Amino acid sequence: MTDFMASLKVAASGMQAQSARMRIIAENLANADSAAKVPGGEPYRRRIPTFAVQFDRVLNASTVEIGRVEFDNSEFQSRYEPGHPAANEAGYVLYPNVSSLIEMMDMREAQRTYEANLNVVSVTRKMVGATLDILRG
């Protein structure tokens, strides 16, 4: 029965980590077109989730959790918009270093990983049910 519990705990930790990853990606997407607030100021900077592995001695299994959230240090996008309130003296406005295409691909990957962990939970529950049926019979 501990193998079933380990399987459930590992899958649940994966689901929690991917859920946190999707929240960060959603935040990136929500801020993809937000310009700097003041002339020459910095706009939203893309955030990148990291993962950390934790070993559970009770279950003798490794689990995953969301680690630190790092900042993407790539350059901001610069657009020539001389009438914009946040334009610098040359007429350029800084926009976030967020690519909607990359974020959507990351979101899809996180969603698929979440679904894979959910399938592990579902299959494990069915196996536990079948085991209990065998023990009753």
pLDDT tens for 59-103 read 888 999 999 999 999 999 999 999 999 999 999 999 999 999 999
Q: How many CB atoms lie within 10 A of CB 55?
A: 9
Segments forming the whole domain that contains residue 103: 2-32+48-73+98-136
In a domain, 88, yes or no: no
In a domain, 8, yes or no: yes
Say if residue 36's pLDDT is above 90. no
Say if residue 1's pLDDT is above 80. no
In a domain, 81, yes or no: no
Per the structure, the count of domains in the chain is: 1
Percent share of the chain, pLDDT over 90: 78
pLDDT value, residue 50:
96
In a domain, 42, yes or no: no
Cα separation, 33 vs 98, in Å, equals: 8
In a domain, 83, yes or no: no
Q: Can you give the CATH number for the domain in which 113 is found?
A: 1.10.287
Alpha-carbon distances of 69 from 1, 45, 49, 85, rounded to whole Å: 35, 12, 5, 31
Q: Which residue has the higher pLDDT, 29 or 2?
A: 29
Say if residue 44's pLDDT is above 90. yes
